[in-house]
Structure 1
Amino acid sequence: MKVLLLAGDFIEDYELYAPLQALEMLGIDVHIICPDKKPGEGIQTALHILEPGRQTYSERPGHPFDITHDFTEAAGNLGQYAGLVVPGGRFPEYQRYDSRVLDIIRAFFKDDRPVAALCHGLQLLAAADVLKGRECSAFPMCKLDVEAAGAKYIDFEAFSKSVHVQGNLVSAPAYPAIGVWLKSFIELLGVKVSVP
């Protein structure tokens, strides 16, 4: 099974590495792509820290990461992917202006294939115009994006166990929910995980 993961400079570090490693652990082949970056070319991740008493998150440099697959090749052969992962961070704010990225997102929704979007990743879904009439969560500062796209924003008091699943879309507000977010996505993919 193959899954596509969208990435770009200043993607949230946890939201790249955690899905990659969890899906690989299950034997899923994760193809990580970025517009205008070739396999082996690097992107810079960022750590967004939710600190008590702060009005918004702070940002620190994360781990560098090398893109694994060719963007154009993946975009031309989307049928090979069982699902799509759309992490957050800062990359969605600029990639939402890239029609090639939006076309990829639209294709997954058109085919009703599983999509896992997290945090600021919902900005890309809003820009792709695939949220109309849906319910989803996102980072609280993305609530206006979600509502302007015609969706109902699902708010959670605590981030850690907060995930919302509707149809093919799994969404969550931020990286503290990665565990339950990935669990729901894996279930939508039809992957069975048994714990003794």
Structure 2
Amino acid sequence: MKVLLLAGDFIEDYELYAPLQALEMLGLDVHIVCPDKKPGEMIQTALHILEPGRQTYSERPGHPFDITHDWDECAANLGQYAGLIVPGGRFPEYQRYDKRVLDVIRYFVEKDLPLAALCHGLQLLAAADVLKGRSCSAFPMCKLDVEAAGGKYIDFEAFSKNVHVDGNIVSAPAYPAIGVWLGAFIKLLGIKVQVP
């Protein structure tokens, strides 16, 4: 089973590495793509730190990461993918102006395939105009994006252990919810994990 993961410079470090490693552990083939980057070309990740008493998160450099697959090849063959992952960080802020990225998101929504979006990743769904009549969670600063796109914003007081599922879209507010977010995504993919 293949899954596509959208990425770009200053993607949230945890939101790239955790899904990649967890899905690989389950035997999935994760293709990580970025427009205008070829396999082996590096992107820079970022660590967004939610510190008590601060009005917003701070940002530190994360691990560099090499893109694994060619954007053009993957975008031309979307039928090979069982689902899509849209992490957060800062890359959604600038990729939401890229029609190629929005077309990929629209494909997965129109085909009713599992789509997991996290944190600021919901900015891409809002820009793709796929949230009308849908509900989702996101980082609180993305509430206006969700609502302006015709979606209902689900507000969780705590970031961890909270995930929202609306049809084929799985969303959560931030990286502390990665575990339950991925759990809901793999359930939509039809993967059953047996714990001894």
1:9-38 CA deviation, whole Å, 9 max, x = no partner? 000000000000000000000000000000
2:50 counterpart letter in structure 1? L
Corresponding position of 2:16: 16
**1:145 and 2:145 matched:** yes
- Distance of 1:97 and 1:40 partners within structure 2: 24
- Indicate the residue corresponding to 1:56 in structure 2: 56
Structure 1 counterpart SS, 2:157: coil
Residues 86-145 of structure 1, C-alpha deviations (whole Å, 9 max, x = no match): 000000000000000000000000100000000000000000000000000000000000
Secondary structure of the 1:123 match is: helix
Question: What's the TM-score once normalised by structure 1's chain length?
Answer: 1.00
- Report the counterpart of residue 92 of structure 1 in structure 2: 92
Give 1:122's aligned residue: 122
Instruction: State the secondary structure of the residue aligned to 1:75.
Output: helix
| Rounded Cα–Cα distance in structure 1 between residues aligned with 2:109 and 2:135 | 14
* Residue 81 (1) aligns with residue 77 (2): no
Does 1:45 find its partner at 2:45?
Answer: yes
Partner AA of 2:85 in structure 1: V
Structure 1: gaps of 5 or more residues: none
Percent same amino acid among aligned pairs? Answer: 87
CA distance in 2, matches of 1:8, 1:121: 11
1:45-103 residue CA offsets vs partner (Å, 9 max, x unmatched): 00000000000000000000000000000000000000000000000000000000000
Extract unaligned runs of 5+ from structure 2: none
Q: Distance in 1 between matches of 2:10 and 2:168?
A: 26
Structure 2 CA distance for aligned equivalents of residues 101 and 126 of structure 1:
12
| Structure 1 letter corresponding to 2:4 | L
The aligned residue for residue 185 of structure 2 is 185
Taking the aligned partners of 1:75 and 1:102, their CA distance within structure 2 comes to: 11
Runs of 4+ deviating beyond 2 Å:
none
Inter-partner Cα distance in structure 2 for 1:142 and 1:166: 18
SS at match of 1:187: helix
* Secondary structure in 2 matching 1:195: coil
Q: Is residue 172 of structure 1 aligned with residue 167 of structure 2? A: no
Count, aligned residues: 196
| Aligned partner of residue 125 in structure 2, secondary structure | helix
C-alpha distance in 2 between matches for 1:129 and 1:24: 30
1:180 shift after superposition: 0.2
Q: Give secondary structure in 1 for the equivalent of 2:56.
A: coil
Residue 160 of structure 2 is matched in structure 1 by 160
1:78 is matched by which residue type in structure 2? Answer: L
- Normalised by the size of structure 2, how large is the TM-score? 1.00
